[in-house]
Copies of this chain bind each other. A is one copy, B any other.
Amino acid sequence: MCRFLTYSGPKALMSPLIFQASNSLVMQSKYAQKRKVPTNADGFGLGWYPTQNDPIPATFVNVDPAWSNRNLKMIAEKVETQHYFAHVRDASKGMPVSQANCHPFSCMHYLWMHNGRLDQFDKFRRQLLNQLSDRAFSLIKGNTDSEYAFALFMDKLEFAEQASLSQLEQAMEETIATIMTLRKDAGADTNAFINFAVTDGKHTVVTRFATLEGVKPASLFFGRGEIRLCQEGIDFVPHDNDDACIIICSEPPTDESDHWVKVERNHMVSAVANERVSQRRLDLPFQADI
> Residues of A with Cβ closer than 8 Å to B?
30, 37-39, 41-42, 48, 50, 52, 54, 57-65, 68, 70-71, 74-75, 77-80, 91, 96-100, 122, 126, 129, 134, 137-138, 141, 143
Is the Cβ of B97 less than 8 Å from the Cβ of A74? Answer: no
Is the Cβ of A96 less than 8 Å from the Cβ of B141? Answer: yes
Q: Which chain B positions have C-beta within 8 A of A59?
A: 74
Known A41-B39, A99-B70: A75·B58 in contact at CB below 8 Å: yes
Q: How far is the CB of A28 from chain B (nearest CB, A)?
A: 13
Is the Cβ of B71 less than 8 Å from the Cβ of A54? Answer: no
Is the Cβ of B68 less than 8 Å from the Cβ of A71? Answer: no
Residue in B57, B64, B74 whose CB lies within 8 Å of A64: B64
- Docked CA distance A91–B64 (Å): 14
- Docked CA distance A168–B180 (Å): 42
Q: Which chain B positions have C-beta within 8 A of A61?
A: 70-71
Q: How far is the CB of A135 from chain B (nearest CB, A)?
A: 11
Known A99-B98, A143-B141: A60·B71 in contact at CB below 8 Å: yes
Known A42-B68, A52-B80, A137-B126: A74·B58 in contact at CB below 8 Å: yes
Query: How many protomers of this protein does the assembly include?
Result: 4
- Docked CA distance A100–B140 (Å): 14
- Docked CA distance A37–B61 (Å): 26
Q: Which chain B positions have C-beta within 8 A of A78?
A: 48, 50, 54, 57-58
Q: Which chain B positions have C-beta within 8 A of A68?
A: 42, 63, 91, 97
Q: How far is the CB of A148 from chain B (nearest CB, A)?
A: 14
- Docked CA distance A113–B209 (Å): 43
Is the Cβ of B41 less than 8 Å from the Cβ of A58? Answer: no
Can you identify 22 A-B contacts, CB atoms within 8 angstroms? Answer: A39-B39, A41-B41, A41-B65, A54-B78, A58-B77, A58-B79, A59-B74, A60-B74, A60-B75, A61-B70, A61-B71, A63-B68, A64-B64, A65-B65, A68-B97, A70-B96, A96-B100, A98-B100, A126-B134, A126-B137, A129-B129, A141-B143
Q: Which chain B positions have C-beta within 8 A of A129?
A: 129
Q: How far is the CB of A38 from chain B (nearest CB, A)?
A: 8
Is the Cβ of B96 less than 8 Å from the Cβ of A96? Answer: no
- Docked CA distance A99–B64 (Å): 13
Q: How far is the CB of A193 from chain B (nearest CB, A)?
A: 20
